Structures are given as C-alpha cells and as structure tokens.
C-alpha cells in the first residue's frame, strides 16, 4: 500500500483494527501479554526501541492496514517487548497527514493499540518551540492542544464503541501527567508543561504564523499527535504526550529550519527521553 493511498473509514475502523491486532498477537506468539501502554516514537526519538527487551519486530508493511513509513527518522516498525519488565507495544514511526493520509489513518494505530488491550496511549513528537524560553533539547509534557490541522479522525459514521462527541476538556490525562512528572523527578530529567499546536505541514511555519500561534496560547508546534489523541479519547484510552523541542520556531532565532536539525536534536535528548519513559512505564 503506497504512502499516498487514501483509505475509507471502513478500512481504518474497528474491524480493521481487530484484524491488525490478531496478526500482531499471532506474530508475537506464546509470550504475548496485554501491554500496559502503547507508545509512539516521534522523529529522532526512535532510540527507545533499542531499550526494549525480549523484542519482536514487525515492519509496518506487514501489519494489515498499515502503510509504509516514508519520513526520515521514522523506522516504520511495530515492536512488542518489555520496558522495565512491563509489556508494551511500540510504534517506531507514525502516519502523518502531510504524507497524503487521511485523518482516520493517522489515528488508526491508536485503534490497533486499543484492540491489543493497551489502556494507556503514550505519544512523543518533535516540536518547534513557540514559547520564547524554550531551547532545543527541552522536554515538554503536553497539558493541552490546539487543533489547527482542521481535520478530525472521527468525521463520518460512528464506529462501534466510539463516542460520537468526545469530551476534550482534559485530553491529556491529569493522573498520567502527574505520574510523568514523578518519573521525571526520579530520574532527574527537567520537564515543563505546555500547549501543543498541531498543524498540517509539511512546511514549517512562517514567522507571522508563529506570532499568531504565540498569541493563541501555543507553546510548541508540530505536525502529529492531535488526531491520535482525539481517537484515544473517543475510544476510552487515557493519553499522555511528551514533545522534544528540537528548534526555536521561525522568527524566534536566526537559524533556518530543516528536518536534519530535528533529528539531531532528538538524538541529543534521546538519553533523557528514554530514561523518562522507562521510569514512567515502571510506575504505571
């Protein structure tokens, strides 16, 4: 299935998620235990996959309903294994709408993680720093988001078990955020709270757009996560997300923005990010 293939709702719904989940369970085999969390690794943050133990790896292209990852810094693999002795499912890479995917497909992996029994969705992403005090390498715990993608994965017929009008007053679970802060303190990783704004991309923002985002109350800006968290809320999963601030947003520094910078910053913060998520999973 090519990256530009458009999916209908039916191909990204509950039956399709069940099919993908059955394939994953069968591939993992006798060692399968329901995961305590599903974790998605953003650009440059894929190193956490190497910290898994007893790992079973599957390329996205083998998982029913998954397209191939096309973005540098995204390995395009689904992994099952243990972190801190706890079973988790991990996605090294994700599907972005700027690749030509519809919003339901961008959120489809969350459906699959839910079908696998994961009660918690842990998203990570690379983001530009809109808050002027952010510097590359900072970690931001997402407290809330602004959806300027103008897309929603729930548009269309309501899937079985989905909430038609999900409450988004607390999309990022307060108890999980507190747990993430506890984990950060335990491993001595600085963690700041902020608002993530999702834009469609794939261009980086103009300086005028960044000034607008600042006035709207955004602290960081990226091109993912929002559709996934909307889906998590609609199907009853608890969600938490961490942004790696990879650069100052356009107009806030004299640097030109590029994807290599994003990946380099992700690698620079990788150790802290990995320690944080491992400690968080240990405490789940």
Residues annotated as part of the active site: 43, 74, 96, 98-99, 126, 223-224, 247, 259
Q: Are 273 and 124 in contact (CB under 8 A)?
A: yes
Count, residues in the chain? 284
Token digits of residue 192: 């700041």
CA–CA dist 236, 258 (Å, integer): 36
Q: Are 47 and 274 in contact (CB under 8 A)?
A: yes
Q: 273 in helix, strand or coil?
A: helix
3-state secondary structure 156-220: CCCCCCCCCCCCCCCCCCHHHHHHHHHHHHHCCCCCEEEEEEECCCCCCCCHHHHHHHHHHCCCE
Give the CA angle between residues 205, 208, 214 to the nearest 5°.
85
Question: Which residues make Cβ contacts (< 8 Å) with residue 159, sequence separation at least 6?
Answer: 9, 13, 14
Q: Are 78 and 65 in contact (CB under 8 A)?
A: no
CA–CA dist 264, 163 (Å, integer): 39
Q: Are 28 and 78 in contact (CB under 8 A)?
A: no
Backbone angles phi, psi at 253, to 5 degrees: -150, 175
Backbone angles phi, psi at 197, to 5 degrees: -110, 125
């Amino acid at each position: 299935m090519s990256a530009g293939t458009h999916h209908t709702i039916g191909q990204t719904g509950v039956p399709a998620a069940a099919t993908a989940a059955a394939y994953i369970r069968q591939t993992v085999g006798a060692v399968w235990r329901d995961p305590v969390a599903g974790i998605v690794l953003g650009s440059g943050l894929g190193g956490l996959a190497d910290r898994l133990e007893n790992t079973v790896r599957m390329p996205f292209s083998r998982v029913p309903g998954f397209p191939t990852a096309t973005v540098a810094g995204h390995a395009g693999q689904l992994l099952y294994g243990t972190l801190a002795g706890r079973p988790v499912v991990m996605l090294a890479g994700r599907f972005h709408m700027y690749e030509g995917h519809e919003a339901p497909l961008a959120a489809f992996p969350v459906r699959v993680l839910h079908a696998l029994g994961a009660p918690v969705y842990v998203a990570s992403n690379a983001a530009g720093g809109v808050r002027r005090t952010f510097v590359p390498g900072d970690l931001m715990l997402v407290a809330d988001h602004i959806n300027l993608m103008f897309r929603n994965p729930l548009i269309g017929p309501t899937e079985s078990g989905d909430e038609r009008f999900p409450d988004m007053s607390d999309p990022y679970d307060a108890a999980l955020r507190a747990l993430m802060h506890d984990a950060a303190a335990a491993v001595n990783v600085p963690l700041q709270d902020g608002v993530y704004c999702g834009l469609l991309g794939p261009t980086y923002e103009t300086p005028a757009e960044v000034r607008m985002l600042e006035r709207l109350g955004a602290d960081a800006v990226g091109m993912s996560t929002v559709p996934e968290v909307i889906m998590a809320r609609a199907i009853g999963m608890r969600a938490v997300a961490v942004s790696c601030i990879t650069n100052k947003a356009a107009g806030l520094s004299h640097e030109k923005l590029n994807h290599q910078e994003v990946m380099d910053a992700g690698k620079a913060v990788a150790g802290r990010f990995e320690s944080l998520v491992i400690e968080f999973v240990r405490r789940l």
